[in-house]
Structure 1
C-alpha cells in the first residue's frame, strides 16, 4: 500500500469555538512545539473552512432584490486563485449556505460544495478522498471527508 504524501502544520477543529487553530505539542518547561500532521486532516479542514470564490450563477447570502451586499467583494474567495492554473480554486462554497433554508436542498448543496475541494485535494495528493453531507439534528448539516487514515467532520454554519 502506497503512503500518502501528507505533511503539514497540524490544525484542529474546536467545536466549542467553532474554529480551527494550529496544534502545539507540549514539551519541557512549559514550552511547546508546532505539531506536524501526516494524516491529511489539515488540508481537508483548510479546504472545508476557507471560502472558495462564488461562481457567477451562485446566489450570494444576504442578496436582496438581486443586489448582493459588498458589491465587488461579495464573491469572497482567495485572491491567490488567479495564480492557480486550470481554473483550480481553493476552499469550499459552503459559505453560500449561510442564509439557506435548513432543508434537504441545503444538505444536497452542502454535499456538492464539499465534493469540489475534496476532488481537488484527491487530484493534488493522488489519493481518494470521499465526501458527503448529512443531518446531525433537525436543521443541522454536517459535512464529512473520508481519507485513507480516517474521517474529518465539521458542521455547516447556518443562521
Structure 2
C-alpha cells in the first residue's frame, strides 16, 4: 500500500463532492423527485463528511448549483468562485493558495484547472442550458 502525500486526493474530494447549499443559494431546479419542498434535506445535498466536520465548513463544492446555468461569463466566474471556496484548506495545509482557472472549452462544457503546491487537477463540468 502506498500513501499519497500530495494534495491531489483532497483536491479531488473538494471539487468532486457536492457541498451543502447555503441558505441564500439558488437551487438549480427548486424540486426533486423526493420532495416538492425546496428546503428539504435531499435537495440541498451535502457530503456525508459534513456530519464529522465541526468547524462549520462543508466538504465538497457547490459547483452542482451551476448544472442548469447558461454559458456565460457569470457562470465561468461562479465556477472559479465555488472551486476556490471548496479549496479553502489549501493555504493552511500546504502554505500555498490554490490557483484556479475556468474556461469554456466546448459548447456547454466548462474546463476547470485547480493547482495546489505544484500539483494540479483538470476536470470538465457540463452546463445543461
TM-score bin, normalised by smaller chain: 0.7 to 0.9
2:4 aligns with 37
Runs of 4+ in 1 over 4 A off after TM superposition: none
Q: Determine helix, strand or coil for the equivalent of 2:126.
A: coil
Between the two structures, name the one with larger relative contact order (CA 8 Å, sep ≥ 6).
2
Distance 1:158 1:139, change over 3 A: closer
Indicate which of 77, 102, 124 corresponds to 1:133. 102
Give the conservation status (yes or no) of the 8 Å contact 1:52–1:89: yes
Gaps in structure 1 of 5+ consecutive residues: 1-33
Name which one, 1 or 2, has greater alpha-carbon Rg: 1
1:114 aligns with 83
Q: Pairwise CA RMSD of aligned residues?
A: 2.0
Q: CA deviation at 1:54?
A: 0.3
> TM-score, with normalisation over the residues of structure 1?
0.67
Distance 1:97 1:85, change over 3 A: same
> C-alpha deviations, 1:94-151, integer Å up to 9, x for none?
0001111122111111111101111223324443321231122233211111122332
Confirm or deny that 1:52 pairs with 2:19.
Answer: yes
Higher strand proportion (structure 1 or 2): 1
Distance 1:79 1:124, change over 3 A: same
Give the conservation status (yes or no) of the 8 Å contact 2:104–2:110: yes
Give the conservation status (yes or no) of the 8 Å contact 1:115–1:132: no
